[in-house]
Amino acid sequence: MRFATSVAACAVALAFSTTVLAQGLPRAQKPDEVGLSAERLKRLSDRMKQGVKDGELPGAVVLIARNGKVAYFESFGLRDPETKAEMKGDAIFRIASMTKPIVSVAIMMLAEEGKLSIAHPVSRYLPEFKDLKVGTVNKKADGASEVVLEPPRREMTIQDLLRHTSGLTYGAPGANPLKQAYVDAKVMDRDQTNAEMVTKLSKLALVYHPGSTWEYSVSTDVLGAIVEVVSKMPLDQFIAERIAKPLKLSDTGFKVEAAKANRGARPHKEGPKSELPNVPKVTDDFKWKSGGGGMVSTASDYARFCQFLLNGGTLDGVRLLSRKTVELMTADHLSPTVAMGADMWRFEALEPGRHMGQGFGLGFAVRVDAGRSPLHGSVGDYYWGGAFGTYFWIDPKEKMSVILMMQSPAARLPYRYLMRELVYQAVVN
C-alpha cells in the first residue's frame, strides 16, 4: 500500500491547497510560531506513515490548530483504497458521532432564543414521551428473562439528552431484551423520519431512570427531532442555514453533492473477517437525518467548528452562542451519584468516568482531573469521536484543537490514544 508524501519535509513547512484554504483557518508560518516543535511533529507524521504502510489504516488527515492558526495539516495514505486515489487535505469523511456536538450547538442556539429550556421535560416538545416506563430485566427460575416495568422517578429532560442520562440506549442484539427491542423496532432505520424514530422510541422501555445513569445512546437523535419541532425546519436545513453557512463550513452536512464524490474518503477491509466496514459514501442521501451520527465534514471545516467553540461561540465576527453558554456546555454535568451504564466502555481511557478523570458536558466528554487518565490532556479539555474513525478534541488551556479524520472503525481507539501522545509531546511552549 502506498502512502502520501508528507506535505512537508523534515521541517514540516506545510503547504495548503487553495480549495482547503478558501474556508480554512489562518496558517501559522511555522509550527514554533504557536509553540509546537516541527522536529517533534515529524514523529507524528512518521507514525501515521508507518500505520498506513503496515495496513493499520487506509489513510488519514490530521490538523492541529493553536492560537487560532493551523500549525500542522497533513494527509496520509489513500483516500480510496479501491481506486488507489491518494488522500488529500480536502477529503470528505463520514463523521458519525462527531455529528452530536453540532446538533448540541443547535439545541443551545434555540435555548438562547427562548424557544426551549434544557431544564424542560422532553415531553413538552415530544408529547409521545410523556408516559415512558423504565424496564428492569429479571431472571426467572427457569433462566428466562423477564422485563418488569415501572414509572420513572422523574421525566427525562433536554439536559438528560445532552449529557446521555436520559435512560435511552443504543440497540444491540443479544441477551438484554431492552436493547434487543431497539433492534426489533429498527430504531436506527435509515429509511425513516426523525418523527417516526420518536414514535418507535415512545413504545420502548427506558433502560435506566432518567438522571441516574450515563449510557451512550440515541439521545442526540432525539435532540435532532426536537430541533425540527421547535424550529419548524428539517434538521439538515437548520444546520445548513443556521450553523454551516454562517461558520463557512462548505463541506459539512448530511451529504455532499455528486460533484464532490471524488473527494469522499473510503475505508479498507479490516476486522477478523477482512471485510469492508459499512461506512456510507459521503454522497449517500438517507431519509433519516440522524442527529446522533449522520453528517459528513472535512478536517478544515471541523477545525473551524472547533475554533468557534474555543473562541466562546464566535468565529470571524459571527456569533452563534454566548461565552457563558459554551462554558455551560463544556462543564461536567455528571454528579457524583450518576452511575455508568453496565454495558458501556467504562474502562476506555477517553470514556466518561470518575476513575479516568472524565465527565460529560452538553454534547461531549470533558476532562475533570489532571491525573487518573493515562493519556495527555488538560483539565477542561473536551472531545468526542465517531465510530467510523474520526476524532477531535479542544484544549482551552493550550488554546489548541486537534482533528483526526479517517474511515477505519478498527483503528479508531488505538489512534485516538496515539494522537493524544504524539500531539502533546510536540507542545514545547
Report the alpha-carbon distance of residue 350 to residue 369 in Å, rounded.
12
What pLDDT sits at residue 14?
37
Largest CA distance in the chain: 70
Report the alpha-carbon distance of residue 45 to residue 32 in Å, rounded.
16
Do 61 and 405 contact (CB within 8 A), yes or no? Answer: yes
Do 297 and 98 contact (CB within 8 A), yes or no? Answer: yes
What pLDDT sits at residue 9?
36
Report the alpha-carbon distance of residue 337 to residue 352 in Å, rounded.
14
What pLDDT sits at residue 174?
84
Torsion, CA 281, CA 86, CA 407, CA 258, rounded to 10: -20
Report the alpha-carbon distance of residue 326 to residue 330 in Å, rounded.
6
CA distances from 160 to 50, 156, 217, 334, 355 (A): 42, 6, 11, 10, 22
First to last CA, the chain: 37
Report the alpha-carbon distance of residue 156 to residue 68 in Å, rounded.
38
Report the alpha-carbon distance of residue 429 to residue 31 in Å, rounded.
11
pLDDT tens for each residue of 305-325: 999 999 999 999 999 999 999
For residue 383, what are the β-bridge partners?
365, 393
What pLDDT sits at residue 1?
37
Torsion, CA 320, CA 324, CA 328, CA 331, rounded to 10: 120
In 106-190, DSSP assigns E strands to 134-139, 145-150
Q: How many residues does the chain have?
A: 429
Q: Which residues of 42-80 are buried (b: 16+ CB within 10 A; e: fewer)?
A: bebbebbbebbeeebbbbbbbbbbbeebbbbbbbbbbbb
Do 73 and 32 contact (CB within 8 A), yes or no? Answer: no
What pLDDT sits at residue 355?
84
Pairing relationship of beta strands 400-405 and 391-395 according to DSSP bridges: antiparallel
| 227 sits in which H/E element | helix 219-231
3-state secondary structure of 310: helix
Report the alpha-carbon distance of residue 394 to residue 365 in Å, rounded.
11
DSSP code of 190?
S
Residues of the chain with pLDDT under 70: 1-23, 343-349
Q: How many CA atoms lie within 13 A of 66 on its CB side?
A: 21
Do 24 and 75 contact (CB within 8 A), yes or no? Answer: no
Residue 171 cell numbers, joined: 440497540
Report the alpha-carbon distance of residue 61 to residue 36 in Å, rounded.
18
Outline where 185-218 has alpha helix (H). 194-202
What is the CA 157 to chain-centroid distance, rounded? 21
CA distances from 341 to 39, 100, 143, 296, 352 (A): 42, 19, 23, 29, 10
For residue 150, what are the β-bridge partners?
134
Domains contained in the chain, CATH given? 18-104+233-424 (3.40.710.10), 118-231 (1.20.58)
State residue 116 phi and psi, 5-degree precision.
-160, 165
Residue 22 cell numbers, joined: 478558501
